[in-house]
Chains A and B, each alone.
Chain A
Amino acid sequence: MAMRRLFETAVKLPGAPGLRRLTVTEEQWLEAARDLAAAGARLLALWASGQSHGSQSVYAAFATEPGVLVLMLAREQDGLPYPGLEEMFPAASRMQRAIADLSGLRSTDPDTRRWLRHAAWPEDFHPLVDEHVPPAPQSPAVDDYPFVRVEGEGVHEIPVGPVHAGIIEPGHFRFSVVGEKVLKLEERLGYVHKGIERRFTELPILEGHRLAARVSGDSAVAFSWAYCQALEGLSGAEIPPRAAWLRALALELERIANHLGDLGALGNDAGFAFGLAQFSRLKEQVLRATERALGQRYLLDVVVPGGVRADIDAAAADALRACVAQVASEVRELRDIYDEHAGVRDRFTGAGVLTPSLAMRLGVVGLAGRASGQAFDLRVDLPCPPYDEIRPAKVCRSEGDVAARVAVRFDEVMESCRLVARLLARLPEGEYRTVVPAPPAGVAVGLIESWRGPVLVGLEAGPGGTIRRCHPHDPSWQNWPALEHAIMDNIVPDFPLINKSFNLSYSGHDL
């Protein structure tokens, strides 16, 4: 009840549908967070805004049953820490550490280790608030990160990364093991931190979607759409129906391509190379049909302010429809093969279990959440057009193992194939793009369900078409910590399989 009251006192926030904003004091911040946690709300993102010389604010976005609530905590210039949310929302910890690194605002929570800053810039430089960039150190250095040590007879550590043995993004994993059994995994990320949030503030607001698409290349449509949704909300621009439908088409094609890639890679990691060959072939077919229909294999430049870059022509739409039908029928066949393969089933079932209660406690979202009983999908629960009309079916499993994450992907590929066919069949006539004027100063939030989970973009417009602050948030923030739990008591050789079953973004997290 308390949550509904909070929601009703909040004011409307532009961008995604059903957004509310509530300005709170420190006491209200903690009280609201406790009420939200008690009511089962999910933490969507946590970020800070403002200059070191002026006022700073901390924002926390929560998905609640009536809608998305954004709490805004204004900070005094007293240098005191703000109340941390880790106790209620464990995923907040790393987000708070990132805020401390980039904006210099500390929370009261106990883990104060640096997160995104390694050793590349001085400790007292906070890139989102300090204008002047200090000179780079003479020679690049590495720091000594204080990993949590596991002690006891026979315990040893296996350090892995940042450069991994495959075509993967960089990050460091520290395993504490006894024999082959993993007692603890600690992740250290931030290696691909390339200054995205500061870079945003150097771009005109009408061009920021290009950078948003490159926050995590595999989720380009989701990020660029979320960015444009926030921008259009600020500008008061209504996008034409056809534009929204074409964006959804792009988003579902992105989901299909990524899921197909993962299904093949997961088969491969289970020792079934046939799976990789078949699924990567299907993925290539989808990418080619996508390129023909929307102009790119990976849709990094398709979503633009006001709509989409280009219209789809009838012949390409027909080819795409045929391609997706073919893919759906082959996926059905390959799923039977996976299901019947004893070796694959043996590796998938019971590996990397994340129970629904733990997933709930950790605030796991998106695909990994839906494999562990967390039935939350923005496309269904807080739909923006055209999802309110085409109504996707929500996929959910409760086993929480690799097999469940595979099953969610299979179900979602089939559902997305159905959605693509429906989107193409009922595509509204009319314009595919409208003009978006530079918005007045203000704050908006965009929210789109990427193939991985909910992507949030917090956008603050400055005067004259500038970006004062932009925070792109990938669901990997919430799900990386869950991987540390899922691997416990599994054996080291199962890690690649379990890791792949989550397939989290490094770039989207490291920013």
Chain B
Amino acid sequence: MLRTLRKIAGIGIVTEPAPQSDESLRVRDALQARIREVMGRALTIRHVDAGSCNGCELEIHALNNPIYNIEGLGIRFVASPRHADLLLVTGPVSKNMEVALRRVYDATPDPKLVVAVGECGCTGGIFGESYASRGAVSNVIPVDVAIPGCPPSPNRILAGILTAITQPKRAAAHVSTEAAARPAD
């Protein structure tokens, strides 16, 4: 016990500042400002792997580590779509997962947001569309924010999630990616 406490005290707080939202990741804007404001304070996320190679999952996991510390921002992963405000979907959407993904989407209460993660979630990636794959997440359910990258870094995923719950900045459409990145990247 003493060793555990000593370790905790010795390491201290390692959390880094969160990235900025990034308008270039936004695909559509379907939520009222007021709803976004309420969601933004305590967002719940349901992750759905709809066919990914599991690379994106590794980086989504990293959001929960003490360095990105997503819970410190009031954002939490939940076990059921019924508890979720936002679906974080990795793809390509395999045809064997298509029904499950639609059911998850339907089970998520309105108003809801969908963020597609990774090259495959955005476009189908190297797998594309085939006898077994529907390709991009937006081919199956409406997508609000799409985060490319193979896999995107935790910072990019976090920037994408924050974009989804941030009111679109109409005037300045694009925040530069440099501004969103941390010095360590």
Contact = CB atoms under 8 A, between A and B. Distances in A.
Contacts of B59: 297-298
User: Looking at A133, A220, A280, A288, which has the most chain B CB atoms within 10 Å of its CB?
Assistant: A280
Contact of B52 (A142, A192, A334): A192
Contacts of B60: 167
Contacts of B172: none
A280 B51 CA distance: 25
A430 interface: no
Interface stretch (B30-38, B62-70, B162-170): B62-70
Interface stretch (A117-125, A151-159, A394-402): A117-125
A278 B3 CA distance: 13
A171 B113 CA distance: 24
A35 to B, nearest CB: 37
B132 A193 contact: yes
Given A169-B57, A199-B130, A506-B54, A191 B3 contact: no
B53 A216 contact: yes
Nearest to B130: A195
Contact of B64 (A280, A288, A505): A280
Interface residues of A, number: 59
B79 A194 contact: no
Contacts of B94: 120, 191-194, 510
A163 B78 CA distance: 12
B132 A298 contact: no
Contacts of B131: 120-121, 125, 127, 133, 136, 195, 198
B95 interface: yes
Contact of A169 (B3, B8, B54, B64): B54
Interface in A213-231: 214-218, 220
B171 interface: no
Contacts of A118: 95-96
Nearest to B48: A163
Interface stretch (B19-27, B97-105, B173-181): B97-105
Contact of A280 (B11, B65, B96, B102): B65
B95 A217 contact: no
Contacts, number: 163
A340 B127 contact: no
A475 interface: no
A261 interface: yes
Nearest to A292: B184
Contacts of A218: 54-55, 58
Contacts of B44: none
Contacts of A199: 126-128, 130
Interface residue SS majority, chain A: loop
A192 B64 contact: no
B97 A191 contact: yes
A281 B127 contact: no
B151 interface: yes
B54 A283 contact: no
Given A163-B104, A280-B64, A120 B130 contact: no
Given A120-B131, A284-B65, 15 more contacts: A127-B131, A166-B47, A169-B54, A192-B96, A194-B127, A195-B133, A199-B128, A210-B126, A261-B61, A277-B65, A281-B65, A297-B59, A300-B151, A336-B3, A337-B3
A170 interface: yes
Interface residues of B, number: 52
A384 interface: no
Nearest to A140: B98
A168 interface: yes
Interface of B: 3-4, 7-8, 11, 14, 47-62, 64-67, 77, 79-81, 92, 94-100, 102, 104, 125-128, 130-133, 150-151, 153, 184
A167 to B, nearest CB: 5
B96 A333 contact: no
5 contacts: A120-B98, A170-B100, A196-B127, A281-B11, A284-B62
Nearest to A134: B131
B133 A194 contact: yes
B54 A120 contact: no
The 10 closest A-B pairs by CB, nearest first: A217-B55, A120-B95, A165-B79, A195-B132, A280-B65, A217-B53, A195-B130, A214-B53, A140-B98, A194-B133
Nearest to A281: B66
A142 B55 contact: no
Contacts of B57: 167-169, 217
Contact of A214 (B3, B14, B97, B126): B126
Contacts of B127: 194-196, 199, 214
Contacts of B125: 214
Interface centre among A163, A214, A288 (most CB of B within 10 A): A163
Interface string A383-414: 00000000000000000000000000000000
A478 B126 CA distance: 27
A194 B98 contact: no
A107 interface: no
A280 B61 contact: yes
A165 B96 CA distance: 19
Contacts of A235: none
A490 interface: no
Interface centre among A162, A215, A506 (most CB of B within 10 A): A162
Interface in A320-356: 333-334, 336-337, 340-341
B134 to A, nearest CB: 9
A266 interface: no
B84 to A, nearest CB: 11
Contact of A281 (B3, B51, B67, B151): B67
A194 B58 contact: no
Contact of B184 (A216, A274, A288): A288
A314 interface: no
Nearest to A165: B79
A192 B97 contact: yes
Contact of B55 (A167, A288, A298, A337): A298
A227 to B, nearest CB: 13
Contacts of A210: 126
B55 A333 contact: no
A367 B166 CA distance: 44
Contacts of B62: 280, 283-284, 287
B58 A217 contact: yes
Contacts of B53: 214-217, 507
